[in-house]
Amino acid sequence: MPDTVISAPVSGTSGIPDVTDPFGLFKAWLEEAKASEPNDPNALALATSTAEGRPSVRMVLLKDFDADGFVFYTNYESRKGGELQGNPHAAMLFHWKSLRRQVRVEGVVSPVSDAEADAYFGSRARISRLGAIASAQSRPLPSRDTLEHRVEELDTQYPGDTIPRPAHWSGFRVTPETIEFWQDMPFRLHDRRVFTRDGEGWRKTALYP
C-alpha cells in the first residue's frame, strides 16, 4: 500500500510575534498563562549542577523578573543553593501546556540584595516564614513530627508578625545569556526563536523545530 500523503499549508504564519525585546514577549506570555493555567503559571523547572558538572533539576516558583533577570527564593544551604554557590550557572524551563508554549532561559546566577530578600520574605504568609526558619532544606528529616514541633516552637518564640529573615534564606537572580521561545505548530513544525545577548542588546535567531 502506498504511503498516505497529507497535504497542508505549512508556511506563511508564525506562532511567535516578530519582536526585539525578549522580556516584553515573556511578560505577555506569562500574563496569558495566568489566565489559562489552572495552577502556578509562574512555575519553572530549575536545572543546576555541581562544580564537577553533575546536574539536578526541580520545580521552583518565579517571584520577580525584569531586564536584569529572573528571581526565585530558596534556602542557601539546600542542595540547589549549594550547587549555585559552587557553580553560578543555571537553566530554567517554563512550560505552559494549555497554551502549548515553553520558554527556556540559560544564564549566570547572582544573589539578590538583602533589601529584596527582606521585602519578599516579609510578604510571605506567617506560617511560611516560620517554615523557612524551621526547615533544614534538603537534609535528612527524622520524622514529620520533628518539623512540625520546630514550627510550633518558633510560633511561640515569635508571637507577633515580626519574624526575622534567616541569613541562609534569600534569593537568586538568573541573568540570561539566552532566552528561547517555543510555540507548538501543526504537524510538529514548531516555531522556535532564540534571543542571544549581544552587548547591550539581543540577537534573534530562528531555529529548526
Q: Taking Cα atoms as reference points, which of 190, 188, 129, 191 lies closest to residue 154?
A: 129
Report yes or no: 44 and 92 within 8 Å, Cβ to Cβ. Answer: yes
Q: What is the DSSP letter of 18?
A: -
Q: Considering 58, 104, 188, 192, which one is annotated as catalytic?
A: 188
For 150, the 3-state DSSP assignment is: helix
101 annotated active-site = no
**Amino acid identity of 37?**
E
Residue 113 grid cell: 540584595
Q: Taking Cα atoms as reference points, which of 66, 42, 160 lies closest to residue 116?
A: 66
Residue 32, C-beta contacts closer than 8 angstroms, at least 6 positions apart: 96, 99
For 10, the 3-state DSSP assignment is: coil
Report yes or no: 105 and 176 within 8 Å, Cβ to Cβ. Answer: yes
Active site residues: 188
